Chain A
Amino acid sequence: SAVISQKPSRDICQRGTSLTIQCQVDSQVTMMFWYRQQPGQSLTLIATANQGSEATYESGFVIDKFPISRPNLTFSTLTVSNMSPEDSSIYLCSVDPGQGHYEQYFGPGTRLTVT
């Protein structure tokens, strides 16, 4: 498994501003993922972030709105840009530690409220 931390744990932001969420892993991993969980909903994959390549975004998510950085094998950031109340969600990062098992381990999440 892997130990994952996220910062901030929660934030309240104003409409039109941007927030950068950090994800730190205690070991080197190739594959990291960012998910959104809207209130009372399931998890939706935003993008896959592999070190050394551009993030791959899922349908309905664009780089201008959710820019992602992956500077090394233990760290990634997700920015939520030009926020609106509809962006109020929990944002979670996860990692696949490899070894061919395909399970993912999740960070504690960032609870974002946009007013």
Chain B
Amino acid sequence: AQKVTQAQTEISVVEKEDVTLDCVYETRDTTYYLFWYKQPPSGELVFLIRRNSFDEQNEISGRYSWNFQKSTSSFNFTITASQVVDSAVYFCALSEVETSGSRLTFGEGTQLTVNP
């Protein structure tokens, strides 16, 4: 069965530090998608990125970057020069296209606190 593990329950950093959020997944499908979502204190889930299983290119978007490694089943998320507004819960999620279609399995989330 599919599974997503975010081992870091809480991370606290000081503003301008770089921080990496870890995500490890398990799946038997060869075709799958991985996602990161941000949930600020307001509660709404914000979609950040999608990566399919055939595209291992890393991606950078501003201060955000993602490192996808199939060999270690990991999809890690790095925030460079963190800011207070980055404080939120971040969720990694998996969609197994072959067995589950669009259904998402979420990790437990990582609470990131960025202190001024």
Contacts and interface: CB of A to CB of B under 8 A. Distances in A.
Interface of A: 1, 31, 33, 41-45, 48, 90, 92, 94, 96, 101-109, 111
Interface residues of B, number: 21
B102 interface: yes
A111 to B, nearest CB: 7
A101 B50 contact: yes
A48 B43 contact: no
Contacts, number: 54
Contacts of A90: 43
B35 interface: yes
A102 B35 CA distance: 10
Given A42-B91, A101-B50, A102-B97, A109 B43 contact: yes
A103 B103 contact: no
Contact of B103 (A1, A48, A109): A48
B104 A104 contact: yes
Contacts of A106: 37, 44-45, 47
Given A33-B102, A102-B102, A108-B42, 4 more contacts: A33-B103, A94-B45, A103-B47, A106-B45
Contact of A1 (B35, B47, B102, B107): B47
A interface majority secondary structure = strand
Contacts of B50: 101-103
Interface string B95-116: 1010001111111110000000
Contacts of A111: 43
Name which of A90, A92, A102 has the most chain B CB atoms within 10 A of its CB.
A102
Contacts of B42: 108
A68 to B, nearest CB: 15
A64 to B, nearest CB: 22
B64 interface: no
